Structure 1
Amino acid sequence: MLCAQGVAAPLMLSSLVLHLARANLHPGCLKVSDILSCSNIGLEEIPNQLPVTAATLDFNHNRLVRLEEGKFAGLPHLVTLRLAHNQLRTLSPGTFQNASTLHHLDLSSNLLYKVDNHYFQELVEMEELLLFNNHIVRVESHALIGLVNLRKAYLSHNRLTDFPFFSIQEHSHQFLVTLDLSSNRMPKLPLDDIAALPVSVQRGLFLHNNSLICECAMYGMFRQWEQKGYVSVKDYRKEYTCLLYGEPRASVQFLEHAKTWRFFENCTIKLPSLVEMEINVVKVDVGNSALLECQTSLKGPHLIYQWVSPRQEYIALPGNNNTMRMYANGSLEIIAVQMEDAGVYWCMVLDRQQSRNETREVNVTVTQQQHEDEHFNTGFTTLLGCVVSLVLVLMYLYLTPCRCWCRKQAPPATPSPANECSAQSSILTPTPPATTEGPGRKVSNNKHVVFLEPIKEAQNGKPREALTSEHPKLHILRSDADSVTSVFSDTTIVP
């Protein structure tokens, strides 16, 4: 009895705590499995008690002004936190204390005016950070250094005049593939720092809709990115503008219109510290496998390899969704190549011990298999041959000159095999019938036999009446039994 009470007591206590936690939630919140949604209910502060099992917290579209220290501590499964469309102006130290499991943080559409160094120090697992549509004028130099697993950062539609590009290095941000700084107020770009960025970051560095001043080095960098097919330039060509001579009214689309090229025609396009990389080209047919080699001068057993696909997908060991396979030496195999797999792949090699890294570019070209074209050519040739054969047959049937009934001649007085146009002699035989060339000469023995239904003879050797009804042609020769007999006889007729 005491044992049973000892077991029941903790259960009752946990049930009471869970009931109290549910009681403290705002009535407008909705909890479904591991998701707690409290969006658009007018909250001015985060509830004190949050479900321990929560993996996603949604507080979008509320009136939050501040976040208390340690508010998200004690949530071991928290992965996604949405705080967009609130009134947050700053984040106090320790806001995300003990929230190291957080992967996705949305602070967009708030009133933040800067990003301090202490904001995200604890978020070592952060992958996606949304800070767009704020009032940010400055990002501190060490604000993003602790985000070693960061893949995407969005800071567009703010008031930035510069950005600490030097704080993003390949050995510290090896997974970063998207950095959106578009629609800000940057007049000049630190080209040396940008050139030192990892290639994967340069491909996904969005700088359109800024207040850039037209200059040769800036123009050359974007032209080079355009030639390499970087998505950040290719998809936003019309939105890359610069100010001629610094005048706001003289804004030109320097990648779109040819007339603006005159301003840069005397420029010597040469970027400092920008090293040309070796480009490897791989051609493969659809459906075949392709092996991309990651060629590097770095040596040693401690190398780390990563790949970035043309669709901005990060690929590491052992591969990606059973479509791509990686090997220990850094090679990447595309198992069954499709047309959408074409593009530029980037291989990044990192040596943590010596703090060295290299980047290689592999251009994959996908073509259709040649035997498909051969099948098409063979089918087309066969069809053409059939059409030609059909035309020849029709020409033979309808355009061959006739020998007898087409000619308007007076019929002879006495029918004879020499001039008789019977079905047997003119239609059923491929050669004209034999004729006698003069009195006493025999008809040629070159016979062309046509197999007809055997003639039923009467007792006197003459054909029956039924034969003439079945064969109308013979009805004309009915009056002359000898002529009918001569058609089907092997004996020579002597006049």
Structure 2
Amino acid sequence: MLCAQGVAAHLMLSSLLLQLARASLPAGCLKVSDILSCSNLGLKWIPKELPVTAATLDFNHNHLARLEEDSFAGLPHLVTLRLAHNHLSNLSPGTFRNASGLRHLDLSSNQLNKVDNHYFQELVRMEELLLFNNHIVRVESQALISLSNLHKVYLSHNRLTDFPFFSIQEHSHPFLVTLDLSSNRMPKLPVEDIAALPASIQGGLFLHNNSLICECAMYSMFKQWEQKNFISVRDYQVEHTCLVYGEPRASVQFLKHTRFFENCTVKEQIQLGETENMKVDAGDSVLLECKTSLKGQQLTYKWVSPHKEYIVLPGNNDTMRMYANGSLEITAVRIEDSGVYWCMALDHQHSRNETWEVTITVTTHSHDPEPFNTGFTTLLGCVVSLVLVLIYLYLTPCHCWCRKQPLPATPSPANECSAQSSILTPTPPATTEGPGRKVCHFSRSSGKHSLTPDIWITLSTPQ
């Protein structure tokens, strides 16, 4: 009896707490399962009481100007936080304390003017960070250092004049495949620092629509990316521009106006990891090996496809199968499977990483018959024609008579009719009679191989 009363009291208390929590939410907020949406309500602060079961919080399109410390503490299931289209100009230390499970953070379209080192240091599981369309002029060198699980970072449409590329080198961010720095104000690029980035980061580095001053080093880098069919260059060829001598009115395209770079030499960039090139026929299967010098039982492997898709054990679909040793098998290869594949070998025990790059070129089978050689067909035609003439002259029965011409000065055999004719004409020649000439007529009425019309042969005799 007492136990039943205790259970009933507990249920009543839980219900009361839930009602109080709902009462503390602003009017207009919508809660569905583990999603709380309070967007476009004109809010100026985050509600103090938030549902502890919330996995997604949506505060887009409000008037938030600041976030208090521990604004999102006590939310153990929080994974996605949307704060876009507000008036945030900076983040106080401790804003995301006790929110380490956060993986997707959208701070786009605010008024942030920098990214300080302390902004995201607690978000060790962060995978996607959206900071585009702000007023950011600087990203501190340690701002992303603790976010080793980052997959995608969007910093486009800001006011950046540089970026600390050195802070994401040496495989400190093994999962990073997209870094969007497009539409900023960078006049120069640290090409050597970019070349030292892992291939997986280079393949998803977007640098178009900046204020770049034309330089051979940058031209060389973009040309190499074009040859590797990197998506950043392939999809934004026209937007890769630079200013000749820094003149805003003299803008040229890196990958189109090549005459401005005639004296530049395309140099091979230094890359971490090794590379391999493979050619495969469409429809065939191919096995990609993840070659690494790392040893041990604690190794894990990950592949990144040309379409920025992660592939882990056992594989992502029926066409891509991954094995325990890191090898990746692609069955029934298609043309769209062409591109650069990156394998990342991770040694968690010793905190070491290595990459292996494989470039696949898929070709199609050609079933068209090989054309005959023109010279051979011409010679064959001549031989066949000669054989037919000889067959006709020697094997076809016919009645042949010769019209005797006036004898020349040098006697010759009478009624000479030779098969060695010089001219074949369908009608009797009108002007060929003369000294030393005879005309031989082959009747079309004799023999089953007769010709139509009659054939007249003019024979010449030596003078």
Could you say which TM-score interval applies, normalised by the shorter chain?
A: 0.7 to 0.9
Which piece of structure 1 moves more, 66-75 or 338-347? Answer: 338-347
Which piece of structure 1 moves more, 348-357 or 326-335? Answer: 348-357
The residue that corresponds to 1:105 in the other structure is: 105
Letter of the 1:98 counterpart: N
Name the CA shift for 1:305/1:225 in 2 (closer, same or farther; >3 Å): same
Distance apart, 1:10 and its partner CA: 1.6
Distance apart, 1:297 and its partner CA: 4.3
Whether the 8 Å CA contact 2:228–2:339 is kept in 1: the answer is: no
Corresponding residue SS for 1:317: coil
Is structure 2 residue 9 aligned with structure 1 residue 18? no
> Deviations along 1:343-371, whole A, 9 cap, x unmatched?
3322233445374523222314154697x
What fraction of aligned residue pairs are identical, expressed as a percent? 73
Letter of the 1:363 counterpart: I
Q: Following the alignment from structure 1 to structure 2, what is the Cα–Cα distance between the partners of residues 295 and 369?
A: 33
Corresponding residue SS for 1:365: strand
> Deviations along 1:131-150, whole A, 9 cap, x unmatched?
00000001011111111111
Distance apart, 1:266 and its partner CA: 1.6
* Structure 1, unpaired ranges of 5+: 375-495
Structure ranking higher in helix proportion: 1
Distance apart, 1:20 and its partner CA: 0.3
Letter of the 1:136 counterpart: I
The residue that corresponds to 1:45 in the other structure is: 45
TM score, norm. by length of structure 1: 0.70
Distance apart, 1:316 and its partner CA: 2.1
Is structure 2 residue 69 aligned with structure 1 residue 69? yes
Q: Following the alignment from structure 1 to structure 2, what is the Cα–Cα distance between the partners of residues 212 and 289?
A: 43
Which piece of structure 1 moves more, 25-34 or 78-87? Answer: 25-34
Q: Following the alignment from structure 1 to structure 2, what is the Cα–Cα distance between the partners of residues 285 and 233?
A: 25
The residue that corresponds to 1:270 in the other structure is: 267
The residue that corresponds to 1:327 in the other structure is: 323
Q: Following the alignment from structure 1 to structure 2, what is the Cα–Cα distance between the partners of residues 125 and 139?
A: 20
Name the CA shift for 1:4/1:328 in 2 (closer, same or farther; >3 Å): closer
The residue that corresponds to 1:151 in the other structure is: 151
Is structure 2 residue 65 aligned with structure 1 residue 79? no
Q: Following the alignment from structure 2 to structure 1, what is the Cα–Cα distance between the partners of residues 210 and 115?
A: 20
> Deviations along 1:415-442, whole A, 9 cap, x unmatched?
xxxxxxxxxxxxxxxxxxxxxxxxxxxx
Corresponding residue SS for 1:359: strand
The residue that corresponds to 1:365 in the other structure is: 362
Counterpart mapping for 1:194-209 below 5 A? 194-209=194-209
Distance apart, 1:292 and its partner CA: 1.4
Name the CA shift for 1:176/1:275 in 2 (closer, same or farther; >3 Å): closer
The residue that corresponds to 1:413 in the other structure is: none
Calculate the aligned-residue CA RMSD, in Å. Answer: 2.2
Whether the 8 Å CA contact 1:285–1:369 is kept in 2: the answer is: no
Which piece of structure 1 moves more, 342-351 or 160-169? Answer: 342-351
Distance apart, 1:55 and its partner CA: 1.2
The residue that corresponds to 1:466 in the other structure is: none
Whether the 8 Å CA contact 1:100–1:122 is kept in 2: the answer is: yes
Corresponding residue SS for 1:115: coil
Whether the 8 Å CA contact 1:296–1:360 is kept in 2: the answer is: no
The residue that corresponds to 1:176 in the other structure is: 176
Match of 2:312 among 312, 316, 333: 316
How many residues are treated as equivalent by the alignment? 368
Q: Following the alignment from structure 2 to structure 1, what is the Cα–Cα distance between the partners of residues 326 and 366?
A: 28
The residue that corresponds to 2:163 in the other structure is: 163
TM score, norm. by length of structure 2: 0.75
Letter of the 1:198 counterpart: P
Whether the 8 Å CA contact 1:307–1:315 is kept in 2: the answer is: yes
Corresponding residue SS for 1:71: coil
Q: Following the alignment from structure 1 to structure 2, what is the Cα–Cα distance between the partners of residues 322 and 187?
A: 46
The residue that corresponds to 1:193 in the other structure is: 193
Is structure 2 residue 300 aligned with structure 1 residue 295? no
Is structure 2 residue 215 aligned with structure 1 residue 215? yes
Distance apart, 1:8 and its partner CA: 1.8
Whether the 8 Å CA contact 1:306–1:349 is kept in 2: the answer is: yes
Whether the 8 Å CA contact 1:171–1:350 is kept in 2: the answer is: no
Corresponding residue SS for 1:319: coil
* Structure 2, unpaired ranges of 5+: 370-463
Distance apart, 1:6 and its partner CA: 2.2
Structure ranking higher in strand proportion: 2
